[in-house]
Amino acid sequence: MPTERTRSRASTTSRAAIIEMLKADHKKVKKAFREFEKLDPEEDSEQCQAIVEQTLADVQVHATLEEELFYPAARSSLSDQDLIDEAEIEHMTVKVLIEQLKSMTPEDEKYAAMFKVLGEYINHHVKEEEGEMFPKLSRAKGDWDGLQEEMTSRRAELEQEFMPHGSAVPDEDMEGEDAKAGSMSGRSSAAARGGTSRSARGEGGARAQAAGGEEDEEEKE
Ligand SMILES: [Fe+2]
Ligand SMILES: [Fe+2]
């Protein structure tokens, strides 16, 4: 039987690991927006499209994880409910921008501008999460035990949902021809069909199971 003290230690460890995982996601996405800034949308249109598609998928996985699991836990830990309300509303705006981007092609005059605006918006949102929400959570009481495992397994499902062709790899590996092959092989249309977080939960799980295979094993490590 776990004692009160071991339970609370497990909860603190889980919370710290979750916050580190979310920060790593933020870092990856921010880096992608910086990479995009260095490119010429006309000259490097394929590379631009690959970055956009990968980033939209990464943002959708991250936002769904926060909405389904992290924000509800944060809500029960924090007295400042406005902070979570604002974060959820910001996610709604991010989704609107994502849907607009998905309806565009790289040839579209405003494609690069739209992606840059999404980047600026996400930077603002991340600043609030890392500057306000995470520090408050680190000081608050709450039961986080088990949530890290739940988020890790849900992430594997969501990656199958939004990045179904083996593109769920660290960004360092997304270079050269492999990146192009991965990004051009239908991931965007699959992501476009992805729908909302709730539908993703059911479908993604079933698809992840059906897919089986090596990728699935890797995600569970
Ligand atoms: Fe968020
Ligand atoms: Fe976040």
Cα 78 to ligand 1 centroid, rounded to whole Å? 16
Q: According to the model, what pLDDT value does residue 220 have?
A: 33
Cα 52 to ligand 2 centroid, rounded to whole Å? 18
Contacts from 180-185 at CB under 8 Å and sequence distance 24+? 180/46, 180/47, 180/50, 182/50, 183/49, 183/50, 183/53, 183/54, 184/46, 184/49, 184/50
- Answer yes or no: is 5 within a domain: no
- In contact, 153 and 200? CB cutoff 8 Å: no
The pLDDT confidence band at residue 53, using thresholds 50, 70 and 90, is very high
Q: According to the model, what pLDDT value does residue 164 have?
A: 53
Q: According to the model, what pLDDT value does residue 174 have?
A: 44
- Answer yes or no: is 206 within a domain: yes
Please count the structural domains in the chain. Answer: 1
- At residue 59, does pLDDT exceed 90? yes
- Answer yes or no: is 81 within a domain: yes
Distance in angstroms (rounded) separating the CA atoms of residues 22 and 52: 20
Cα 30 to ligand 2 centroid, rounded to whole Å? 11
Distance in angstroms (rounded) separating the CA atoms of residues 159 and 110: 28
Cα 3 to ligand 2 centroid, rounded to whole Å? 32
Q: Mean pLDDT, to the nearest integer, of 188-212?
A: 36
Which residues have a beta carbon within 5 Å of ligand 1, which is an ion? 66
Per the model's pLDDT, the better-predicted residue between 209 and 30 turns out to be 30
- Answer yes or no: is 129 within a domain: yes
- Answer yes or no: is 3 within a domain: no
Cα 1 to ligand 2 centroid, rounded to whole Å? 34
Q: Residues 171-198: pLDDT tens digits?
A: 444 444 444 333 333 333 333 333 333 3
- In contact, 111 and 18? CB cutoff 8 Å: no
Cα 56 to ligand 1 centroid, rounded to whole Å? 14
Q: According to the model, what pLDDT value does residue 165 have?
A: 65
Q: According to the model, what pLDDT value does residue 163 have?
A: 83
- Answer yes or no: is 115 within a domain: yes
Q: Residues 86-102: pLDDT tens digits?
A: 999 999 999 999 999 99
Q: Mean pLDDT, to the nearest integer, of 10-15?
A: 90
Q: According to the model, what pLDDT value does residue 218 have?
A: 35
**Model pTM score:** 0.74
- Answer yes or no: is 2 within a domain: no
- In contact, 32 and 170? CB cutoff 8 Å: no
Q: According to the model, what pLDDT value does residue 1 have?
A: 60
Q: Which domain holds residue 194?
A: 10-219
DSSP, residue by residue, 61-114? HHHHHIIIIIHHHHHHH-S-HHHHHHHHHHHHHHHHHHHHHHT--TTSTTHHHH
Q: Residues 141-166: pLDDT tens digits?
A: 888 999 999 999 999 999 999 985 65
- At residue 45, does pLDDT exceed 70? yes
- Answer yes or no: is 178 within a domain: yes
Cα 9 to ligand 1 centroid, rounded to whole Å? 26
Q: According to the model, what pLDDT value does residue 143 have?
A: 87
- In contact, 46 and 180? CB cutoff 8 Å: yes
Cα 160 to ligand 1 centroid, rounded to whole Å? 20
- In contact, 133 and 87? CB cutoff 8 Å: yes
- In contact, 53 and 188? CB cutoff 8 Å: yes
Q: According to the model, what pLDDT value does residue 7 have?
A: 72
Cα 129 to ligand 2 centroid, rounded to whole Å? 6
